[in-house]
Structures are given as structure tokens and as C-alpha cells.
Amino acid sequence: MSRSRIVIVGAGFAGFQAARGLTRHRAMREEAEVVLINPTDYFLYLPLLPQVAAGILEPRRVAVSLQGALPGVRLVLGEVDHIDPQRRTVSFAGPEGDRGSMSYDRLLLTVGSVNKLLPIPGVAEHAHGFRGLPEALYLRDHMTRQMELAGGTDDPRECQARCTFVVVGAGYTGTEVAAQGKLYTDAMAGKHPVLRHRDRPRWLLLDIADRVLPELDPRLSRTADRVLRARGVEVRTGHSIKEATQEGVVLDTGESVPSRSLIWCVGVRPDPLVAAVGMPLERGRLVVGPDLVVPGHPGVYAAGDAAAVPDLTRPGSYTPMTAQHAARQGKVAARNIAASYGYGEARPYRHHDLGFLVDLGGVKAAANPLGVPLSGPTAGAVTRGYHLWALPGAHNRTKVAADWLLDAVLPRQAVQLGLVRSWAVPLDTAAPELPVRPSAAAGARPVGAGGGRHREAGGRQRRDDGTDPHHRKGDQSS
Ligand SMILES: Cc1cc2nc3c(=O)[nH]c(=O)nc-3n(C[C@H](O)[C@H](O)[C@H](O)COP(=O)(O)OP(=O)(O)OC[C@H]3O[C@@H](n4cnc5c(N)ncnc54)[C@H](O)[C@@H]3O)c2cc1C
């Protein structure tokens, strides 16, 4: 008799833990083949991405090899773009333009989320998000380049614009990016023969909410606000931008801020794939029961950012989009899938938040593990300790610890490799994990994927001469 097949789509926090749970179950290994379909061959530990952008960590430190960490799993590189629940098949685009499909007996959708867009003029063309490794690598190079160009120009207005960075969205992503970015650019300016005699780089952090980290404990907001302001970040709560142009942004107060850098961290929305499967949604997330099964579709499960999982600890609401929930939901999904084969008992997903950790760069952080508010170096140590514990893979952990050690004793390498260009990381993409391939003809596609999950931001296309028509004035990135 042929083995049953469990297909997991997406190897993020939820998918990775589900695959691990299923293949650790000896009886399940014999009963069913576990297939993991993902566009990259690694699991990305997103919480440390701001440290990649700031040059503290090399990118592979936060990329955990799926084959190495999940030996019993069959990895299929690809992006699923069609699911047929009647025939029980998934179709996907492979990394070299090839297509494939396979049948499943159980399906787990864990495709995560993508950058959220807001209808603000110019944002799609001029902002970059922060949801994947390509965007982090782009930002690292971009910050470095802006500082180098600022130091090389005789025009004081251009110098000021290049030394001004605008972050919209003061959730944990925007707060960490601004906190780390300010330290990085300050350090670059401090060593520059010209820039060190000028004003320090200007960082603005905007949010329409009345405090930074609006979704977290107010005590964390106060700590983060204090640290950011002391560092010189202009925290503008209660405000956003009303327009982005090549020259900079216009705030909702009418103030113009000349800048070449707009970093868009207003949040995420579920991966558009879940809308395409034709099952009920809640704010774009696939509705599931507390057992993570899609109602009316036995054998189809969903978890993580892409799933609207009832929060049994807060009746009437859904679990927030965090790694903490996604990873635990992945484990519960594995357990419940095993139970559907007769191994163990299914159980509903229930988890009380254990607190949050926000890395503010240097030795600082704002944290409330188990509800205990921490700040300063204590919070910094707890935050780093937690990340080392939570990051899968002993090799990755060791290398992260080594990078932290080196960063403490050596200056950061402020060099740009220019491998990820501005046009390769548009804000409007359904595949933030892959850079876009230059293609003027058929619309751009993510490199390494044959699929059409990517949409060009505002119809952006690369010219045949290699330049980007929406290229920022003076931006040498594309
Ligand atoms: C910069 C940053 C920092 C963060 N920090 C924290 C933090 O400190 N604490 C916290 O709790 N949360 C944090 N989060 C949020 C957390 O990372 C997410 O909630 C979590 O990653 C969600 O897990 P997931 O498994 O649902 O999705 P993901 O981890 O995003 O994984 C989704 C996977 O699906 C793949 N995929 C997508 N579409 C397809 C497709 N069509 N076919 C095949 N595969 C597909 C993707 O490539 C990816 O591998 C942070 C997020 C960001 C962006």
C-alpha cells in the first residue's frame, strides 16, 4: 500500500515546526510522506532581520537550512499558485520556470504574510518594505550608499536629503529598523572626514497611533520611546505621510522632508494565496477552527499569519500575527494531523502571550517576558538569549553568537555589495522572500521562481538600458 502524503505549503515559523513535529513522530514517518513546498531552501528567522540590515549579522546566520534541520522531510522548491480542494492537488512554479503539481491527503497552509500597502500617492513607487532577506540586504546597502554619497557631494541640500531616513510604522519592525539604522548611520558619519563635522543623520519614525509599539504593553512603548529619542530619532506619533516623491516625503502636517529613503513598516497582510483558494476569510486570513482545520474541508489545515485562528484566551478575537503564535500553531497542527491518522488526540490551539522582546540596538531592548517589564542591558541580554534559544539549528546559533561577539569588538564593515537593487525589492510583492528578476518584457518575476506571485509596483519596469524609470533622483542603486 502506498504511503499517504502530507503537503505543507510554506516553511516559516508554522510550517517549519509542523514539519519537524510530524517527522519526529516515528509512526507518522512510516505512515505518511511529509512534503514541504517553499520558494527558498531555508527557514528565515525574521526577528533578527533588522540586525542583518544593520550589518551586525551576515544573512546566512538567520537562514536555517531546511534540508539540514528537517532530514525526514522532502523539500520541494517552488511557489504554490493553485490549490484544488476537490481533486486534492496543489500546483506550483519551480525555481527555473518549470511547473509541477502533486496530490495530498492532508494539506497545511502556512504561507505567512506580505507587506501591507496603503493608498498614499507615491508610496508604492518610492518606499521599500521590510519583510524578507532581499529587502534587508537592500536596506543595508542603501543606507551605506546614502552616507557615502552624502559625504561625496558639495551640495549641502543633497547631503542633508541623503542623510535623512524616514520610517513609517512604529510597530516592532519599524521601531527596530529605526533604532538599528540610526546607530549604523551615526557610526558611519562619525568616521567620515566630512560628515563627522555636520549634523548627525536624521531618522524620523512616524505612526498614526499615539505611541510607538502601539500593539504592545504601554511600558514597552515608554522604554522604546525614551531610548529612540535619546539616540536622536525624531519620533512623530499621531502622524503619517500624505505623499512620497523622488525628492522625499510630505508629512500629513504639510511639512516636506527631503529624503532618499522611505522604509515602509506599516504592517503586513496575509499572503494573497489564501484568498485564491476560495475558502472563507477573515480580514484576508483563512478561517479555521480551534483545531486549525478549515471548516467543511476535513484534511485541510492552516496556521500562522495566513490563518484566522480563534484566540481561546480572548474569546471573540483571533490570535495576532506573531512568530510566537505561528510556531506554536505549527506544533499543534502537527499533533492534530497525526491524530487524524489515529496517533494521539487532537487538541484545540490555546496559548497565552508570553510577552514580547524588542531589540533597540547596542545593548538596549524593551522586553516583558512573562509580563515582567525590562529595559536597558538586562532587557538586551534577555532578548539576545531568547533569540539564541529560539533560533533553530546549532550551527546558526553558534554563528550568530560569534557575529555578536565580533560586533562587540570590531567596527562594522560599511561596504555595499550592490547585489540587491532597488527595482528588485518593490513594495508591492506577493513574494518578499525573493528578489525580482530584471525583465522588461513580461513583467518582473522573483529570481529563482517561475511563478507570477509578484506584481510590479505601480507598473514598474526596468528599462533595457538597465535603469529604473521610477528610480529616485540621484539614487545610484538601480
Ligand atoms: C522584521 C520582522 C521582525 C519580526 N519580529 C518578531 C518578533 O520579534 N516576535 C514575534 O513574535 N514575531 C515577529 N515578527 C512576526 C513573525 O515573523 C511572523 O508573525 C511569523 O513569521 C509568521 O509565521 P508564518 O509561519 O505564518 O509565516 P512566515 O514565517 O512568514 O513563513 C511563510 C513561509 O511561506 C512561504 N510562502 C509564501 N507563499 C508561498 C507560496 N505561495 N508557496 C510556497 N511557499 C510560500 C514563505 O517563503 C515563507 O517561507 C517579525 C516579523 C518581521 C517581518
pLDDT digits (tens, 9 = 90+) for 110-134: 999 999 989 999 999 999 999 999 9
The answer on pLDDT for 444 being more than 90 is no
On whether both 275 and 398 belong to a single domain, the answer is no
- Cβ–ligand 1 contact at 13 (below 6 Å): yes
> CA nearest 326: which of 359, 358, 294, 285?
285
Q: Rounded to 5, what percent of the chain is helix, strand, coil? A: 35, 20, 45
Residues 314, 171, single domain; the answer is: no
33 and 110 both lie in a single domain: yes
Number of structural domains the chain divides into: 2
Tell me whether residue 347 is in a domain: no
Query: Tens digit of pLDDT for each residue in 135-148?
Result: 999 999 999 999 99
Give the position of cell 531610548: 227
Q: Cβ(131) to ligand 1 under 6 A?
A: yes
Amino acid (one-letter) located at 307: A
Spatial separation of the C-alpha atoms in residues 27 and 79, rounded to whole Å: 29
Distance 46 CA to ligand 1 centre (A): 7
**How many Å apart are CA 356 and CA 169, to the nearest integer?**
18
Q: Do 273 and 256 share a structural domain?
A: no
Mean pLDDT across 438-448: 48
Co-location of 301 and 236 in the same domain: no
Q: How far is CA 448 from CA 34, 41, 335, 437, in A?
A: 23, 11, 33, 8
DSSP state letters, 373-424: -EEHHHHHHHHHHHHHHHS--HHHHHHHHHHHHHHHHS---------S-GGG
Is residue 58 included in any domain, yes or no?
Answer: no
- Cα dist from 214 to 208, 239, 266, 442, whole Å: 10, 13, 11, 41
Q: Which domain holds residue 218?
A: 123-266+357-420
Q: In terms of domains, do 334 and 230 share one?
A: no
Quick one: which atom of ligand 1 is closest to the CA of 430?
38
Q: Is the CB of 292 under 6 A from ligand 1?
A: no
**pLDDT tens per residue, range 251-287:** 999 999 999 999 999 989 999 999 989 999 999 999 9
pLDDT at residue 378 tops 80: yes
Question: Which pLDDT score, from 0 to 100, does residue 20 have?
Answer: 97
384, 401, 420: which is the final residue of a domain? 420
Angle between helices 394-409 and 376-390 (to 10 degrees): 150
- Strands of the 4-9 sheet, one edge to the other: 74-77, 32-38, 4-9, 106-109, 300-302
328, 226: one domain? no
> Which of 9, 13, 130, 220 to mutate for ligand 1's pocket (most ligand atoms within 8 Å of CB)?
13
Residue 456 lies in a domain: no
- CATH code at position 188: 3.50.50.100
CB 178 within 8 A of CB 167: yes
Q: What pTM, to 2 d.p., does this model score?
A: 0.92
Determine the pLDDT at residue 439. 64
**What cell does 223 get?**
522604554
CA 135 to chain centre: 9
CB 79 less than 6 A from any atom of ligand 1: yes
* The pLDDT of residue 27 is above 80: yes
Closest ligand 1 atom to Cα of 357? 8
pLDDT of amino acid 52: 98
Q: Which of 389, 420, 451 is the last residue of a domain?
A: 420
Residue 437 has a pLDDT of 77
